[in-house]
Protein backbone atom coordinates (compact mmCIF):
# COMPACT_ATOMS: atom_id res chain seq x y z
CA UNK A 1 0.00 0.00 0.00
CA UNK A 2 1.27 3.47 -0.78
CA UNK A 3 0.48 6.52 1.25
CA UNK A 4 0.22 10.12 0.03
CA UNK A 5 2.92 12.66 0.77
CA UNK A 6 1.82 14.79 3.74
CA UNK A 7 0.37 18.14 2.64
CA UNK A 8 2.76 20.09 4.86
CA UNK A 9 5.65 19.05 2.59
CA UNK A 10 4.20 21.51 0.04
CA UNK A 11 5.06 24.35 2.43
CA UNK A 12 8.80 23.68 2.02
CA UNK A 13 10.02 26.06 -0.68
CA UNK A 14 13.50 26.21 -2.23
CA UNK A 15 14.80 29.81 -2.35
CA UNK A 16 14.79 29.82 -6.16
CA UNK A 17 11.01 29.20 -6.16
CA UNK A 18 10.27 31.68 -3.39
CA UNK A 19 9.33 34.72 -5.52
CA UNK A 20 6.64 32.73 -7.33
CA UNK A 21 5.29 31.17 -4.12
CA UNK A 22 5.24 34.54 -2.29
CA UNK A 23 2.95 36.01 -4.95
CA UNK A 24 0.28 33.46 -4.00
CA UNK A 25 0.36 34.21 -0.26
CA UNK A 26 -2.18 36.49 1.37
CA UNK A 27 -0.78 39.71 2.79
CA UNK A 28 0.40 41.01 5.15
CA UNK A 29 3.38 38.67 5.07
CA UNK A 30 5.34 38.15 8.28
CA UNK A 31 8.95 36.93 8.12
CA UNK A 32 11.14 35.40 10.78
CA UNK A 33 14.24 33.26 10.75
CA UNK A 34 16.32 30.97 12.90
CA UNK A 35 17.84 27.53 13.47
CA UNK A 36 14.90 25.84 15.25
CA UNK A 37 17.09 22.82 15.95
CA UNK A 38 15.08 20.98 18.60
CA UNK A 39 11.59 22.43 18.52
CA UNK A 40 10.15 23.33 21.93
CA UNK A 41 7.23 25.20 23.49
CA UNK A 42 9.02 28.54 23.29
CA UNK A 43 9.48 28.11 19.53
CA UNK A 44 5.90 27.14 18.75
CA UNK A 45 4.49 29.90 20.96
CA UNK A 46 6.74 32.49 19.32
CA UNK A 47 5.82 31.29 15.82
CA UNK A 48 2.09 31.42 16.60
CA UNK A 49 2.50 34.95 17.95
CA UNK A 50 4.44 35.97 14.84
CA UNK A 51 1.76 34.54 12.54
CA UNK A 52 -0.91 36.49 14.42
CA UNK A 53 0.77 39.70 13.18
CA UNK A 54 -0.18 38.97 9.57
CA UNK A 55 -2.00 36.66 7.18
CA UNK A 56 1.04 34.53 6.23
CA UNK A 57 4.27 33.55 8.00
CA UNK A 58 7.40 32.83 5.98
CA UNK A 59 10.23 31.23 7.91
CA UNK A 60 13.86 31.46 6.79
CA UNK A 61 15.74 28.47 8.16
CA UNK A 62 19.50 28.50 8.72
CA UNK A 63 21.15 25.72 6.70
CA UNK A 64 23.31 23.24 8.57
CA UNK A 65 26.47 25.07 7.47
CA UNK A 66 25.04 28.39 8.64
CA UNK A 67 24.19 26.90 12.06
CA UNK A 68 27.74 25.52 12.42
CA UNK A 69 29.20 28.99 11.77
CA UNK A 70 27.14 30.41 14.65
CA UNK A 71 29.35 28.65 17.16
CA UNK A 72 26.58 26.72 18.90
CA UNK A 73 28.79 23.63 19.12
CA UNK A 74 30.55 21.17 16.86
CA UNK A 75 27.63 18.74 16.98
CA UNK A 76 25.01 21.32 16.06
CA UNK A 77 22.58 21.25 14.52
CA UNK A 78 21.27 18.04 16.05
CA UNK A 79 18.59 17.76 13.36
CA UNK A 80 19.58 18.36 9.74
CA UNK A 81 18.00 21.13 7.69
CA UNK A 82 15.62 18.79 5.81
CA UNK A 83 14.23 17.40 9.07
CA UNK A 84 14.01 20.85 10.69
CA UNK A 85 12.19 22.21 7.61
CA UNK A 86 9.67 19.33 7.64
CA UNK A 87 8.87 19.70 11.35
CA UNK A 88 8.41 23.47 10.97
CA UNK A 89 6.28 23.09 7.84
CA UNK A 90 3.94 20.82 9.80
CA UNK A 91 3.08 23.69 12.15
CA UNK A 92 -0.24 25.38 11.49
CA UNK A 93 1.29 28.83 11.98
CA UNK A 94 3.81 28.43 9.13
CA UNK A 95 2.84 29.30 5.55
CA UNK A 96 6.21 28.63 3.87
CA UNK A 97 9.62 27.41 4.99
CA UNK A 98 12.68 28.29 2.96
CA UNK A 99 16.37 28.42 3.85
CA UNK A 100 19.50 30.53 3.64
CA UNK A 101 23.17 29.60 3.81
CA UNK A 102 24.67 32.99 4.61
CA UNK A 103 25.49 34.23 8.11
CA UNK A 104 22.46 36.54 8.11
CA UNK A 105 19.10 36.42 6.34
CA UNK A 106 19.58 39.90 4.81
CA UNK A 107 19.36 38.76 1.16
CA UNK A 108 16.36 36.55 1.91
CA UNK A 109 14.56 39.40 3.68
CA UNK A 110 15.12 41.63 0.66
CA UNK A 111 13.65 38.94 -1.57
CA UNK A 112 10.60 38.41 0.68
CA UNK A 113 10.08 42.13 1.41
CA UNK A 114 7.89 41.30 4.41
CA UNK A 115 5.22 43.63 5.70
CA UNK A 116 6.21 42.55 9.21
CA UNK A 117 9.67 41.41 10.34
CA UNK A 118 9.86 39.50 13.63
CA UNK A 119 12.54 38.10 15.95
CA UNK A 120 12.50 36.82 19.50
CA UNK A 121 12.76 39.00 22.58
CA UNK A 122 16.53 38.62 22.81
CA UNK A 123 16.81 40.94 19.79
CA UNK A 124 16.40 44.71 20.08
CA UNK A 125 14.41 46.05 17.12
CA UNK A 126 17.32 48.19 15.89
CA UNK A 127 19.62 45.11 15.89
CA UNK A 128 17.31 42.88 13.84
CA UNK A 129 18.82 42.21 10.42
CA UNK A 130 16.60 43.85 7.80
CA UNK A 131 14.83 46.17 10.24
CA UNK A 132 15.97 49.43 8.61
CA UNK A 133 14.96 48.24 5.15
CA UNK A 134 11.60 46.91 6.35
CA UNK A 135 10.80 50.14 8.18
CA UNK A 136 11.89 52.21 5.15
CA UNK A 137 9.35 50.27 3.02
CA UNK A 138 6.63 51.17 5.54
CA UNK A 139 6.67 47.78 7.25
CA UNK A 140 6.73 46.90 10.93
CA UNK A 141 9.45 45.28 13.02
CA UNK A 142 8.70 43.41 16.25
CA UNK A 143 10.77 41.80 18.98
CA UNK A 144 8.41 39.33 20.66
CA UNK A 145 9.16 38.76 24.36
CA UNK A 146 9.77 35.17 25.45
CA UNK A 147 6.92 33.61 27.42
CA UNK A 148 8.79 30.41 28.30
CA UNK A 149 12.35 30.06 29.54
CA UNK A 150 13.28 27.23 27.20
CA UNK A 151 16.09 26.78 24.72
CA UNK A 152 17.53 24.07 22.53
CA UNK A 153 20.92 24.50 24.20
CA UNK A 154 19.35 23.99 27.65
CA UNK A 155 17.61 20.84 26.43
CA UNK A 156 20.84 19.43 24.97
CA UNK A 157 22.74 20.23 28.18
CA UNK A 158 20.07 18.49 30.26
CA UNK A 159 20.30 15.37 28.08
CA UNK A 160 24.09 15.37 28.31
CA UNK A 161 23.99 15.75 32.09
CA UNK A 162 21.63 12.77 32.34
CA UNK A 163 23.96 10.70 30.13
CA UNK A 164 26.93 11.61 32.33
CA UNK A 165 25.05 10.38 35.44
CA UNK A 166 24.01 7.10 33.80
Model confidence over 59-91: pLDDT tens digits? Answer: 999 999 999 999 888 889 999 999 999 999 999
Fold classification of 25-165 (topology level): Rossmann fold (3.40.50)
What does the CA dihedral 18, 19, 23, 26 come to, rounded to 10 degrees?
50
Neighbouring C-beta atoms of residue 103, cutoff 10 Å: 12
Domain assignments of the chain as residue spans, ordered by start: 25-165
Pairing status of strand 56-62 against strand 29-34: parallel
Residue spans of beta strands (DSSP E) within the chain? 29-34, 56-62, 96-100, 116-120, 140-144
In angstroms, the first-to-last Cα distance of the chain is 42
* Per-residue pLDDT at 140: 98
- Look at residue 71 in the predicted model and tell me its pLDDT: 86
User: What's the pLDDT score for residue 150?
Assistant: 76
pLDDT at 146: 87
The per-residue pLDDT of the chain, averaged, comes to 94
> Which residues does the chain have with pLDDT short of 50?
none
The pTM score is 0.92
Q: What is the pLDDT of residue 64?
A: 97
Residue 22 has what pLDDT? Answer: 97
Amino acid sequence: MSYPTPAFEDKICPPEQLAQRLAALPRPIVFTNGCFDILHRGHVTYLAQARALGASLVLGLNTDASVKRQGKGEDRPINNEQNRAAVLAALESISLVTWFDSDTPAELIELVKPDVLVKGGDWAVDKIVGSAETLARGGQVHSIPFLFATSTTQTINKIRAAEDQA
